[in-house]
Structure 1
């Protein structure tokens, strides 16, 4: 058995039961994952890459074709002698994955099919912080239904929904345990969204926004494949997704990554979590707006707010115009970003800190100050070799990651996708 097969037989660190059905599921997943990562290829190349017998691959391909998860895409002539080999590729245009993000001041939507084709991608301004759980979940349900209808019209039925939220999440039960900037406590988001969807009955999974964004970055971002990295959200709040040795670090109870609540200034302002001097009170978007444009300050509980990209665009225009107050505010936020980043580097020794949200938008102005402070404060000095880089996913990283979780579930267990019902002859 190859190393990749052994890894595929473990989900979340728990060995799956051995046996024919489990082994077949593992092998189907192995083939599907290879096609997802490497694109179209021949059956013989799949056998060579995975260590599976050619006859086994051919047998597995029959089932994957039957489930419409792969398709034959022509003839592969590369490097062949004799009879050409028929190539296969990931298909699944009829299978969708919907990612949603509910944050303080917006709802983001990202829907794709199994092949990675984007079917819906947008962000809606919404004052979730001032709306409470019931109204927010009603709005989230309406947004999800509209997205599902749009994906269905495109020919893809969502196999699942992933939801990203800025807070502590009990992933196993789909419960938001505590989201300080939303003022949510023990909200059963998965169950309530499932209820709001009614007869659609699409499975719902919930996770922390920074965790999902980190997975998106690790899969397809500017530092894709970097085994040790940290992702930082740049929202009203600041969260962190931590990848260690290629795996998401969740902690004993699944609540790791709440880096925005690192205490960095005992005499600092009050945070949404109720404590004082948290890191996000220095580097969160609301903190920057208060420093740069105090007359337009906002934050949790302040009422309707503009889309965060609109607010950041205003700051970027002021920076480009050389507004001194804005330049000073961004430099200050950058130094605090570097200070908190140095704590993370001292703890986890990542190779890269990827910054998203507004951090990425203002990276040209902010990151030089952050990098200088990071290098000044990291104990290992130049030996740590960590750098800040700006995400190119913008404010959509978490919703991308949420959709990606659904895709991973399908790839991990292709047998969960039902075979199409044969149509009666003459139908």
Structure 2
């Protein structure tokens, strides 16, 4: 049986969730949305204001008759989550407040594969500490391009020396709760929580970077698999040929549609496009410029990538029947050149090829998803946030 404190905590969480999912509401609307009495909602809103989690602002004017209600909305002051991404060629950090506003973000190019995990973790921890100093956070979630159990890397085809590394241990000096998760899973959560197709119950997210990752939302829940290592779609055995994959096998999907495949096809060794120390978005912008200038080699490479994406996406659409397939990472940045060949290949294999869209979150998806997860304890139990001294 729940205690009075547990009931109140659950009710506070219900009000917060209503504001997060439906936007600013009047007290009457909150009562209707949560099934609580207006008096209870009024008391809960007062406590959430005292905890700095909501604020009261403008007036709701539903019509010309009656007294206007005061709108309650999520407040960003003082409660933040931090998302960190460790990827093959960059590090990134993003701070998100409870209202969903980005407070700080940073990304640095880094040839992670050439460095020891301890050195990379030290740099990532320093970036995180700087963000936390500016915007105190309740927790950190680290996105990693591989399979993770707990906070330990179990599979990392493109960063093999990381296998067995306890990623959370690298952030111990922060004295914050640290979670570690697959980057594509976190990106899928970001799309589900904040993208243009937010709260679509069935969604597949595909991200293209050095590897290819996927996250699946089904029935509004992230599909993790029996051991939490689901979503390694880049290693589906979809392609004939002998191109070696970072996982040690051949025939993996990412050998055809991963960033490395694009850059090999579009540029010779020594071309600036293949410099891992150069910012990834700058390199992709140059690929787009070459394509717009009509460079035949670049256009052919992009067409092959798009066709390969359509072949693999058809398998995922047949398996999961999502309402939408969201392309992220470099697929989104070069989407104008990929969508036509992708749709043609997909349409030859499934009945409805027009469910593919481009992410608007770009390369921030994984860190945004990480920050979203870091904030979840607040939405689960708002009493974890202390009352403000001025309350």
| Counterpart for residue 339 of structure 1 | 311
Distance 1:389 1:288 in 2: 20
CA shift, 1:312, in A, is 1.1
CA shift, 1:367, in A, is 1.3
Q: 1:69 to 1:80 in 2, by over 3 A?
A: farther
Deviations 1:13-37 (A, max 9, x none): xxxx744333222211110111223
| Counterpart for residue 224 of structure 2 | 250
Point out the more displaced range, 284-293 or 72-81. 72-81
Distance 2:293 2:68 in 1: 61
Q: Which has the higher contact order (CA 8 A, sep 6+)?
A: 2
Distance 1:370 1:268 in 2: 23
Distance 1:121 1:295 in 2: 32
The answer to whether the Cα contact below 8 Å between 1:298 and 1:305 also exists between their aligned partners in 2 is: no
Distance 1:396 1:133 in 2: 22
Q: Which of the numbers 59, 62, 79 marks the counterpart of 1:95?
A: 79
Q: 1:87 to 1:224 in 2, by over 3 A?
A: closer
Distance 1:69 1:395 in 2: 28
Please list, as runs of the form range in 1=range in 2, the aligned pairs for 1:350-361 lying within 5 A after superposition: 350-361=322-333
Please list, as runs of the form range in 1=range in 2, the aligned pairs for 1:258-277 lying within 5 A after superposition: 258-277=232-251
Q: 1:419 to 1:349 in 2, by over 3 A?
A: same
1:67 to 2:23 alignment: no
1:185 to 2:153 alignment: no
Q: 1:226 to 1:85 in 2, by over 3 A?
A: closer
1:286 to 2:260 alignment: yes
Q: Which of the numbers 303, 311, 333 marks the counterpart of 2:283?
A: 311
| Counterpart for residue 151 of structure 2 | 174
| Counterpart for residue 412 of structure 1 | 380
TM-score (norm 1): 0.86
Q: Which residues of structure 2 form unaligned runs of 5+?
A: none
Q: Which residues of structure 1 form unaligned runs of 5+?
A: 1-16, 152-156
How many residues are paired up?
Answer: 390
The answer to whether the Cα contact below 8 Å between 1:231 and 1:356 also exists between their aligned partners in 2 is: yes
Distance 2:8 2:25 in 1: 21
The answer to whether the Cα contact below 8 Å between 1:69 and 1:91 also exists between their aligned partners in 2 is: yes
| Counterpart for residue 221 of structure 1 | 195
The answer to whether the Cα contact below 8 Å between 1:268 and 1:278 also exists between their aligned partners in 2 is: no
Task: Describe the SS at the equivalent of 1:122.
Answer: strand
Distance 1:386 1:226 in 2: 16
Task: Describe the SS at the equivalent of 1:263.
Answer: coil
The answer to whether the Cα contact below 8 Å between 1:289 and 1:298 also exists between their aligned partners in 2 is: no
Point out the more displaced range, 38-47 or 210-219. 38-47
| Counterpart for residue 334 of structure 2 | 362
CA shift, 1:331, in A, is 0.8
The alignment yields a C-alpha RMSD, in angstroms, of: 2.1
The answer to whether the Cα contact below 8 Å between 1:290 and 1:298 also exists between their aligned partners in 2 is: no
CA shift, 1:320, in A, is 1.0
Deviations 1:253-303 (A, max 9, x none): 11111000001224231111111121111101111000111324799xx98
| Counterpart for residue 130 of structure 2 | 146
TM-score (norm 2): 0.94
Distance 1:359 1:77 in 2: 43
Deviations 1:130-149 (A, max 9, x none): 11211110111111112222
Distance 1:389 1:149 in 2: 37
Deviations 1:30-51 (A, max 9, x none): 1011122333322122111211
| Counterpart for residue 231 of structure 1 | 205
| Counterpart for residue 144 of structure 2 | 165
Distance 2:153 2:175 in 1: 20
1:389 to 2:373 alignment: no
Task: Describe the SS at the equivalent of 1:250.
Answer: coil
Q: 1:34 to 1:238 in 2, by over 3 A?
A: same
Task: Describe the SS at the equivalent of 2:21.
Answer: helix
| Counterpart for residue 3 of structure 1 | none
The answer to whether the Cα contact below 8 Å between 1:351 and 1:386 also exists between their aligned partners in 2 is: no
The answer to whether the Cα contact below 8 Å between 1:228 and 1:352 also exists between their aligned partners in 2 is: yes
Distance 1:185 1:206 in 2: 14
